A = this chain, B = another copy of it.
Amino acid sequence: MTNEQISEHLIALEHAALTAWCNGDPSPYLELYSPEFTYFDPFTPRRWDIGEVREMYEQIRGKLSVDRFEMVSPRVQLHGEVAVLSFNYTSSSFSGMWNCTEIYRRVGPGPDGSEDPGIWKIIHNHWSDVHPKQ
């Protein structure tokens, strides 16, 4: 499998998790998160770990509904077992743009034992909104 194919696989994983998220279902993201997962967004007062993120996601389960979203210019920087996926995000639920960084790590072969693309988990996520300087 080429680096380009692995990159496409990771972008597809992210798009599927984001699609579920926009329909109120955080489970695909939660399944992608590694136990070592760390998280930043503009509303968290500090870096969160997997337990804090899980609690926050369960509080909003079923409450989100976004008609349309777009992952703008996704780029994967792939180095061995680690991949940095970055993209901008827009959706029908607000007028602005968001920045997103997801760090994926390949944790092992696929369920059928195949090496490529293998199982990838997210080890860090950083979301932020783009806004004017204050």
Contact = CB atoms under 8 A, between A and B. Distances in A.
A27 interface: no
Interface residues of A, number: 37
A45 to B, nearest CB: 6
Contacts of A99: 40-42, 44, 47, 126, 128
Query: How many copies of the polypeptide does the oligomer hold?
Result: 2
Contact of A46 (B42, B73, B129, B133): B73
27 contacts: A38-B77, A38-B84, A40-B99, A40-B101, A40-B126, A41-B99, A42-B42, A43-B131, A43-B132, A43-B133, A44-B130, A45-B97, A46-B73, A47-B75, A77-B123, A77-B124, A79-B81, A79-B82, A79-B105, A79-B123, A84-B124, A86-B126, A101-B126, A103-B103, A126-B126, A126-B128, A128-B129
